[in-house]
Every structure is written in structure tokens, then in C-alpha cells.
Structure 1
Amino acid sequence: MESEYTLQVIDLDALIVGAGFGGVYQLKNLLDLGYNVKLVESGKDFGGVWYWNRYPGARVDIPIPHYEFSDAKLWKHWTWKQRFPGSAELRAYFQFVADTWDIRDHCVFESYVNSAVWNAETSKWIVKIPGGVTYRATFFLPNTGFAAKRYIPDWKGIASFKGIWIHPSFWPAEGIDLKDKRIAVIGTGSSGVQLTQELAPLASEFVLFQRTPNLALPMKQQEFDKGTQTVPKERYPDLFAGRKSSFGGIDYSFATQKTFDHNPEERRAVYETLWAHGDFHFWLAAYGDMLFSDEANTEAYDFWRDKVCARLDSPRLRDKFAPTVKPHAFGCKRVSLENGFYELFNRSNVQLVDMNETPVVEIIPNGIRTSEKEWDFDIVVCATGFDAVTGGMLDMNIVGRGGIKLRDFWSDGVKTNLGMCVPQFPNMFFTYGPQAPTALCNGPSCAELQGDWIVDALEHIRKNNYKSIDASEEASKAWAEGVAAIANMSLLPTTRSWYMGDNIPGKRRECLIYLGGVPNYYKILEECAASNYEGFVLA
């Protein structure tokens, strides 16, 4: 598909990057409005993160029908098989979306942005793609998401390993023979938990290398038969409309009560109800002060700890997975969902290595050497995550007004307005990026909420014959200060996490997520548009 554009300069109204929820939604809406628009995607097909995440156990942690588009043309004719669909079903859903919306002919796959440079004379973005392709676009719309750039620690000896060494997002479509193999998983984020649940039962020996325990919650997966779904489809319009009033863009929010408004018996009853529901209720439908008061947070952690300890046979495992004193503020690292994860470690062939006690020294031809011993493995899965939130954007070599590089512009701290645009980078809007609700917002909700605002802004520019829109320095400074102020009222900065940029050596430590919740964010966006885009310079 790419060859037909080789050595061409192609003029566009808009160039979209990324074929996940955000990019696909923008493509459909801009096409409906008659824009000349293309979407480029490094993968071979639609799906975004779900195109790449093919590892065993990969699945979404937001239940359907929240994790899908709100277009009735889609949900009236699509039925899910599980409450939490796996990556294969999500890829099938994206195929259905692409066919229903008829967007395939406007996509260029197996392509990525080498550079994107703003040309002030023409008020266009000059975007170079491998193979000699150049796009000249009025609007540049990255939708790279928060997990576009993999991170693998620079351990000595990785190239010497004779077995299979793989990051989960590079899992081959044809799969890997796992039966009776000696397998290691390094990392206890969501991928590490999901991989453990699938690989440990297959392995002759399985070892999980943990630095920080994952304070995971029970998923409570459901299988659907004969078209049944969690929510009757006649309720879908109200459910989708309600996304804007929920903290996380789903259908529930933090309670108005505070933890110690209830006595111990009442409090335990609340915790038990949230726990029994499964998914993120114990996290995002909990008491309103849980993420702000250390005492309240500890109360929630202690309940969580006791639930988990009851599932583990060994005192050592209880101490490593659910220590008496909480290892960090509950809910201030990305919470994962699990199905039988903890019980697996009661098996004789499943072991846990604490990398704080016995760090990885080097990778050797036959496995991993820690400070304590050598471990032999056939397969090592390096589930060490991503340069989250900013990594994908910075990888595109974006250059704004006056030759300023985005990497340099953000070197002393991320600067955006509304978490969607950057001063000195006109006509560039992004979704699911830094200083927006992003990782604390349901992906499809964010894609539609931000996508609608961006499309409306583009229409405002087109109808009023402007050439450019640029975030003001003053508005961006105020937005960054507001994001930091909300974060500093919470327990988030007390915890090392990728929310704060802590997982990448040398990365600046700052809160990358807007913690004000979807309702406040949506209100701010509406007010900005209603005030003729106050905080932006239109020219």
C-alpha cells in the first residue's frame, strides 16, 4: 500500500498517527466532514495497542460495554464473548469497526513518522515517512497513546542469551511453544500478571521477577452465551451518555463519603461489596478520600492485604506480595486485575524472586544471574513496560515554530494546554497524552471526549478562515500548574510509578496525568470552546 506513494509529496487537510481508538475515531469524523485525511500506523492493521499485544492472557481491564465506541451502528450489531475481552476479540472488533465505518482506503499501514516539522511560511506540517513519502498537512494529529515506546532495561549480556528473549508487545502472531519450558517473566505490571496466569500452568519451571508488588484486584471475568451481555443494549445510550459524569469515563465514581464517616462494621461492609463486584470498584468507586488521606488509604490497603494473604500458603509469599506495611499508596500505581494470580505461587513449580533482595546482575547465555544464584531459562519475557505517556510523541522527532524540538521544549517539564496541544507547535492536537485524564480514563471515553473537541476546533478554524491555532504560553503554564496542584493534594507523588515518570532512568519526575476526573475535564473543555478558544492564539 505504501509503494504507490513512494517519492511523492501529498497534500492533506489532516494527518493522523495511530490506528487505535483515538486515531480511528478522528479519521471517521473528519471523513464525515469532508476532510482530505490520511492515517498512518506502524502496525499491519487496526487496533493500536491491541494490534501489538498478542501475548498469552492479554486483555482489557475495563468491562464492556464501556470499552467500545458509542456509535449505535456498531454496538447494535456487535456482541462480545466476555465481560473483559482478550486481545484477539478486540482485534476482531476493530476489523468490524473499520468495515462498518469504511475507513480502510484512508489508512497507510506499516508506516511511521520519521519527522514532523512545522513550516511557518505555509502554515503546514511537513511529515516525512519511510520510503520517500512526505505529507504536507494543515493539521498533525498524533494518537500514539501512553504505551507506544517499549522499555527494556540495559542489563549486561542480553545479546548473549541463547533462548527466546522477548518484550510482550513483540509477541509473534504465530505464538511461541511454551509447554514444559523453563520460563521467566520480569515485571509485575498488568502484562506481568496476565502472562503469569497463562504461562505458569504450562511451564516446567516458572519464575516471576518482582521489584514492586502489584496490588491487583479480582477481575471477576464473565463468559457470555447466546448474545447475552452485561448490560441490556436498550440501556446503552444512557450508559454512553453517562461517561462524561464519571471520574474515569465509565459508570461509577468515588463515593461522597469519607473513610471514617463509617464505623468499622459499616466500612467493612462497604469494602466487601466493592470487592465482590470485581473490576476497579474497590479502587475507583471507593471512599472519596482514599487517594488523598494516608490514613484512609492504609485502611483500604489493610483490607486488600488480608484478602490476598488468605490466598497464599507461604509466610514468605504473604510478605512479598502483601506485606504488613503497605509498600506504596494503594491505587497510586496502576492497579491490575487478576484471575487466580496469587494461588499460582502455591504450586511447587512456580517461584518468586524479589529483585530488591537479589537484583539482576547480568543476563547469561543460559538465563539470568542474580546476586544470589544463576537461573536457567528457555524463555525470558521482559515485561518491563513502556516509556509511558510521552515516549511515543518524542519518538517522532517533532519540530515546532522557530525550529524548537519537542524533546527540548519538554526537557524542563511537560508543557501542554488541556493535555492536547503544546505552545509553539501550532495545529497539532493529540489524544491520550500527558496532562490529560489518560491512564485514569477509559480509553474509548477519552478518544470520543477529546476527539470531538479536536474535530470541533478544526471546524472552527476552517469555517472562520484561520490558518493556525496555537496554545498560549500563559495558558499552558497555568494548566501545568493546575495538574501539579491536584497531584500534590493526593498521595500520587509519594509513590514511584510511571504516572510520575519514575520507570525510565533519567526521565524527569513529574505528574503526567490530570487527576481532576472526566467531569471536571469535560467542563473545562466546553468552557474553552464556548469562550472562542480562550487560551489559544488563532491566526
Structure 2
Amino acid sequence: MTPATLQTSPVTGAASATWDAIIIGAGMSGLYQQIRLRELGMKVRVFEAGTGVGGTWYWNRYPGCRFDSESYSYGFSFDKELLQEWSWSEHFAPQPETERYLNLVADKYDLRRDIQFSARVKAARWDEVDRLWTVTLDSGSRHRSRFLITAIGALSAPTMPDFPGMDAFEGEAYHTGLWPKAPVDFTGKRVAVIGTGASGVQTIQEVAKTAAQLTVFQRTPNWCAPLHNGRIPPEEMAAIRARYDEIFRRCDETFSCFLHTPDPRNTFDVSAEEREAFLEKLYSERGFGIWVGNFKDILTNRAANEEISRFVADKIRQRVKDPKVAELLIPKNHGFGTRRVPLETRYYECYNQPNVALVDTRATPIERITPTGIRTSDAEYGFDIIVYATGFDALRGAFDRIDFTGREGATLKEKWQDGATSLVGMLQDGFPNMFMLLGPHTALGNIPRSIEFNVDWVTRLLRHLQENSLTYVEARPEAVARWMDHVMEVAQGLLSMEVDSWMTGVNRNVAGRQTRVVARYTGSAPTYRAWANGIADRGYAELVLA
């Protein structure tokens, strides 16, 4: 289908809508929103920067990339038939399998006919006269729609460090979030990995298996916990299929939509022996239980957090043979769980291998990238491949890369210059008819569970507009202010708010991201859903409808 461009009325000369809705992004949220809008009979166009569907699971194809939510809690829940047809091969599926899954969804619902690939959105401007959005692509083509829906993800804007000489490197260089489709062979190569966040940890585990020499450049160590992945045999998959209603009901009930939720006890409610046994149990179990299924006070009580931090630090010391290396891998500037916890498979054991070395860039900073490698303040290293596992401009970064202009010429960048705001993470005053599926201050956690709720919420609102012959919706400023007061309130007392991380809006690789803010919603998913559903149940009084 050839995308339509601007149309002009032969009677009035005014521009008219080419589409009822434009969706930016063909990842999980964009695909599901596309399905739901079709059910409303809407004419939809999706613009996707990549050449295929999948979003996160299209771009992030680096070695070792996989879920850290249980696979069977991650897929779409809305299609009962698909749930029975699809088999997950592992408890935490690898990227290629997830990409195949999302391609199956696109095939089953014939979604590609409404998607324009290799189409990066440059700008979106609200037309106050026609009450339409004009979306401009990098190619220069412009497209008009009544409604604009961003499905651009919370972790989708990769960031690169600003080392001198990066362009002069003569070997291969890759960012984990922009990995090529062609395989990268590390066999017998000298490889550098810069960064030890979640993507860095997963990459390091794989590269260490074949590289002649792997040098890890670490600025800030992270608390990592075992993934305990495993294959899912057919009989177990059959049992999982029989429990899908129970699995998704459990996700709806838990704090972060994972299969794990905080233990009702406080850390010091039990004896030291019981506490140690409980932590050992969590450390031996699959997934995020040790982070989000731990004692309920580990993220608010300093002494409790010190206890779990001590426990995990001891595990690192037991697993890493060189005591000096072990100490470098133990965080000293934040407690366990106050930043995002990467899950790993023999990550710490990598540092016991003779082909793996660790460089502490706080002690010996990287000074520049040379044509043949990396120079720090005390040494020069030669490399064939450099991997930048330097993360993303999280939460609002993807929004900042598009020039959104709302009413009266106000831009979203200006609106958010002192920190992003929203109404339940999905609407913003001053930006009519625009919906953010994973906008700031939505409930994150197990992302697809948030996606399904948010898409259904937006769809319910659009149905309400249709049924009442309305074409305009905007969040009231006072409603945004009340929501933001709630966002600030639930963040009080969290130890994570004392820590610099993408979860508090701090990113040293991005200019203007040095001030700590409440960058995300830290309350429970059930509380978030109740607040959002309350808006709908009250007849959308918090919104301007026309």
C-alpha cells in the first residue's frame, strides 16, 4: 500500500486527514495498538524506522540478548488461540525467538500492509485550525492524522559515549542497541566491551566464550543475580498452556506485573538463620524474585538493604577467584536493587578465565579511542572489535529525538525541560489527540503487561470519542498536576531515589541528564491501573473532550 500524503479539500482548500490515526513504532505496543484500532474501524498508518517489526527485539540482537521476565509471562495475553499455538523453548527466551514470535503476530493479523518500514519520524506538529497532526518523516514526506500514538518504547534511544577518536577506529565497532543483522564473529579476536549494565552483562557472557582476549571497561559495577534459565520440554509447555489464565491473573495482581511480588515480611521480622535461608532460596530460583520478590522493605529500609547487599556481595566474592577483581565487581555507591538488576548466567565466572580482563575506568579513565584500540590514563590496548554497551537515553530519550509541537507552538522538549510530566503516562496537556503508550510515569515492570493495559485504555477512550461523535481530547493541566503529585508521593522513601541511574533520569552520556528527578512511576501496577481506570469510570472528567 502506497502511503498517502497531504490531501486538500477542493471546496475549502483546507488540508484533511489522510489517516484516522498514525502510530510511531512497530514494536509490541505498536502492533497491539494497530490490532485494536482496526477493531474500531479506523484507518491506520504505522511508521517504523527499522526494516521489520519487533521494536526492542528487532534492534537489540547482540549476543546473549534475551528476556529476564519469564517467557510465558511476557507474550501477548489477548489472543487465546496464539497462546495455545506458540511454544517457548526456554524459560527466558533469546532474542531471535522473540523476533520470530512478533513476526508471527504480524503475519496472523496481516499488520504489515499498514506499516511503512525504513520510515523514521522527524517531527509531529499539531494543527489547531484543522485539529490534525502533521507527521514529517526523515525523507521529507508529510502525513496527516486525527490522532497520533507514540509506540516508541522506554528503552529505545541508544546513547554513545563521547570519547575522542571514536570515528578513527579502524576495527569493527557496534552498539548493543543497534546490532547488525549479519553475524559478528568474535572467534580469536581481541574484543573490548564498554559498559556493565544489563546488555553489557549479557554480551560479556557470550563473547568470553570465543574471544582470544576480552577486556571489560567498567565505570559503575552493578548488582547482578543468577537467571537460572533452562529449556522448556514439550510436557512442561503443555502444563504452562493449561495455566495461562492463572499466570496472567498473577501478573495482574503483583506489584510490577512479574510472577514475583514482595514478600509480606520485613527483613528483620525473622531470625538471622531464617533470613539467610530465604535469601539463599531466592538466589537459587529463576528470574527477578531476588529483586522484586524479596522482603518488602529492602528498597526502603537502609539496614535491610545493607543486609541483602552483604549477601549478594558475599556471593560475588565466592564466585570470583581474584579478591581484587571481586571487589571491583561489587558496587560501593548503591545498594542492591536500587538500580536495575541485570540477570546473568555465569557472568562472574567469566572473570576467572585467562582471556578476560577487567579495567576500572573510575581509577583509569578512557582518554580516547585510537585507530587500533583504546587508550586509558595508564595504558594503551589494541582491539579488533569494540562493543559499546552504553545503554539508552531512557524513558524520554525517544521523545526528544522527535520534534513534537503541540498547541500554540509549544514543543514537548520545552514542556519537559525541567522533567517530564504526564497524565497516567499516556497524555500531556498542550498536546491534544496524542497518546503515549509507554510515556513517562506509566507503570513499567513486566513491559508487555503494561503495554496491553495502556493500549486497551487508549482504545477504550477512542471508542468513547467515536460513540459520542467527538474528535478532540486533551488532558487538563490540573489533572496532570494531581497525577504528578501522586507520582512524587509514591516515590518518597525509596532508596533508589538517592541513586543516579536511568530510573532517576540521570545519564552521564546525555547532555542535560545530570539532574536527579522522579523519572518513572514507582507505585504498584494495580494502583496505576486503578488510577487510570478511575479516569474512564468518571466519564473522562479529567480530560477536555470536544
1:315 is the counterpart of 2:319: no
Q: Deviations over 1:366-397 (max 9, x none)?
A: 11110111011111101101111101112111
Shift of 1:170: 2.1
SS in 1 for 2:126: strand
**Contact 1:5 / 1:133 at 8 angstroms: preserved in 2?**
no
SS of equivalent to 2:435? coil
In the alignment, what sits opposite 1:347? 353
1:12 corresponds to: 19
1: CA distance between counterparts of 2:465 and 2:28?
Answer: 24
| Aligned equivalents of 2:150, 2:338: Cα separation in 1 | 27
1:492 aligns with 2:496: yes
The answer to whether structure 1 residue 470 and structure 2 residue 478 are counterparts is no
Shift of 1:352: 0.4
1:525 aligns to 2:523 (yes or no): no
Deviations, residues 246-303 of structure 1 (Å, cap 9, x unaligned): 1111222111111111111111121122112121000001111111111111111111
Which of 101, 104, 116 is residue 93 of structure 1 equivalent to? 101
Hey, what does 1:66 align to over in structure 2?
73
| Aligned partners of 2:159 and 2:390 also within 8 Å | yes
Q: Residues 213 and 321 of structure 1 are in contact (CA less than 8 Å); yes or no, is this contact kept in structure 2?
A: yes
1:311-460 to 2 correspondences below 5 Å: 311-322=319-330, 326-438=332-444, 441-460=445-464
1:50 is matched with which residue? 57
How far residue 177 of structure 1 moved from its aligned partner, in angstroms, is 2.3
2:234 matches 1:226: yes
| Residue matched to 1:246 | 254
- How far 1:230 sits from its partner (Å)? 8.6
TM-score by length of 1: 0.96
* Distance across 2 between alignment mates of 1:479 and 1:210: 38
Paired with 1:64 and 1:442, the residues of 2 have a C-alpha distance of 11
**2:518 maps to amino acid:** C
Q: Contact (CA 8 Å) 2:156, 2:392: kept in 1 or not?
A: yes
Offset at 1:225? 3.0
Give the total of aligned pairs: 533
Q: Tell me the distance in 1 between the aligned counterparts of 2:89 and 2:374.
A: 39
Contact 1:244 1:522 in 2 (8 A): no
Q: Which moved more, 1:191-200 or 1:457-466?
A: 457-466
Task: Give the secondary-structure state (helix, strand or coil) at the position aligned to 2:456.
Answer: helix
Whole-angstrom CA distance in 2 between matches of 1:192 and 1:170: 13
Cα shift readout 1:493-531 (whole Å, capped 9, x = no counterpart):
211111112113422431211011111111111111101
SS at match of 1:252: coil
The corresponding residue for 1:24 is: 31
Once the two structures are superposed, the pairs formed by residues 172-251 of structure 1 within 5 Å of their partners are 172-226=180-234, 228-229=236-237, 232-251=240-259
Do the aligned residues in 1 keep the contact of 2:48 with 2:119 (CA within 8 Å)? yes
Matched AA of 1:228: E
Distance change >3 Å, CA 379–CA 161, structure 1 → 2: same
Does residue 78 of structure 1 match 2:86?
yes
Residues 20 and 231 of structure 1, relative CA distance in 2, 3 Å threshold: farther
* Alpha-carbon shift at residue 469 of structure 1 (Å): 1.0
Deviations 1:300-338 (A, max 9, x none): 111111112110101111211126xx4302112111110
Check conservation: 2:72, 2:240, Cα contact below 8 A: no
CA distance in 2, matches of 1:454, 1:231: 33
CA contact 1:65–1:230 (8 Å) conserved in 2: no
Q: Is the CA contact (8 Å cut-off) linking 1:185 and 1:207 kept in structure 2?
A: yes
Q: Take 2:506 and 2:238, find their aligned partners in 1: how far apart are those partners? A: 37
Q: Kindly provide the amino acid, as one letter, of the partner of residue 268 in structure 1.
A: E
Are 2:286 and 1:263 equivalent residues in the alignment? no
Structure 1: unaligned runs, 5 residues or longer: none
Q: CA deviation at 1:231?
A: 5.0
Structure 1 stretches of 4+ with a deviation exceeding 4 A read 6-10
Tell me if the contact between 1:431 and 1:450 (Cα under 8 Å) persists in the aligned partners. Answer: yes
CA distance in 1 between partners of 2:451 and 2:4 (Å)? 31
- SS of aligned partner of 1:26: helix
Task: Check whether the contact 1:6–1:133 (CA below 8 A) recurs between aligned residues.
Answer: no
Q: Give the conservation status (yes or no) of the 8 Å contact 2:186–2:210.
A: yes
- Superposition deviation, residue 111 in structure 1: 0.6
Code of the residue aligned with 2:20 in structure 1: it is D
Q: How well do the aligned residues superpose, as a CA RMSD in angstroms?
A: 1.5
| Residues 97-154 of structure 1 deviation map (CA, whole Å, 9 limit, x = unaligned) | 1122222211111112121111111111111124443221111000111122111111
The CA deviation at 1:227 is 5.8
State the SS of the aligned residue for 1:459.
Answer: helix
